[in-house]
Amino acid sequence: MTRLENRVAVVTGAGSGIGRETAKKLEWASAELGSVDILVNNAGSAIGPRNISWIKPQEWQATIDANLTAVYLLSRAVLGGMLKRGGGTILTISSGAALRPNMLGGAAYGAAKAGVRNLMSYLHNTFRNQGIRATTITPGEVNTPILDDRPRPPNRDERNAMMQPEDVADAVLLCCALPLRTVVEELVMVPTRMRDQSTDIELARWFGAPAHERQKTA
C-alpha cells in the first residue's frame, strides 16, 4: 500500500472490534504521530434503553456525545491542519441504524449515527475542492463487543454469520488507499444472509422500561 506510506492515521475506538482491525491495517504507515493525514472516527456506544419512552435525558445526551459530538470535535481538530497541507481523509463509521432505525439500535443511537452521516456529507460538500475526502461507512450487524450490550446478545452461530470487524477494516483500507483524486462518499455494507431480528426487536422495546410498564405486557 505505497499510497499510505509516510501518512499518519488516527483511529478512535481502536481497543477492540472494527477499530482494532482498522488500526492494524493503517497505523504501520508511520511510527510516530505527526501531522494527521487520516482520521477514522470509529468509537461509539449503544447502551441503556432503546425505546424513546424510557430513555432519560442524561442517557440520550451520553449517547449523542459518544457517537456524534466526539466525531465533530475530532474532525474539527484535524481539519485545519489538513486544509493547510492541501488535503486529508476523514472517515466515519456510521451504522445501519442510520438508514433503517428501529428498536434494535434504539432512538438515541440511530439519531446519532444519522447525524454523523450528515456531518460527513457536509464535510464532503464543503471541502472537497480543498482536498478533503470525507467518507461514511454504514455497516449492518458486525460481530463486535458492542453487541454484548444488547438486551439479548446474539449467540455464537448468529455472530459467525455476521460481518466480522476485519471486513469493515478492509473497506476502510480501500477508501483510504484510493488515489487522492478519488473519494468514496458513502459505502453501505450488510451481511449476505439476513437473520430474523423480530424477537430481538421486541425485547429491545421493553429493555429499561419501568416495572409497571413491563407488567402490562405480562
Indicate which residues carry an active-site annotation. Answer: 109
Give the gyration radius of the chain's Cα atoms: 18
Tell how many helices (H) and how many strands (E) occur in the chain. 8, 5
Burial label, 109 (beta-carbon count in 10 A; 0-12, 13-18, 19+): buried
Locus of grid cell 492494524: 24
Give the alpha-carbon dihedral of 203, 208, 211, 212, to 10 degrees. Answer: -80
CB atoms within 10 A of CB 72: 14
- Give me 8's grid cell: 499518519
For residue 92, which phi and psi values (nearest 5 degrees)? -125, 135
CB atoms within 10 A of CB 160: 10
- Give me 113's grid cell: 449515527
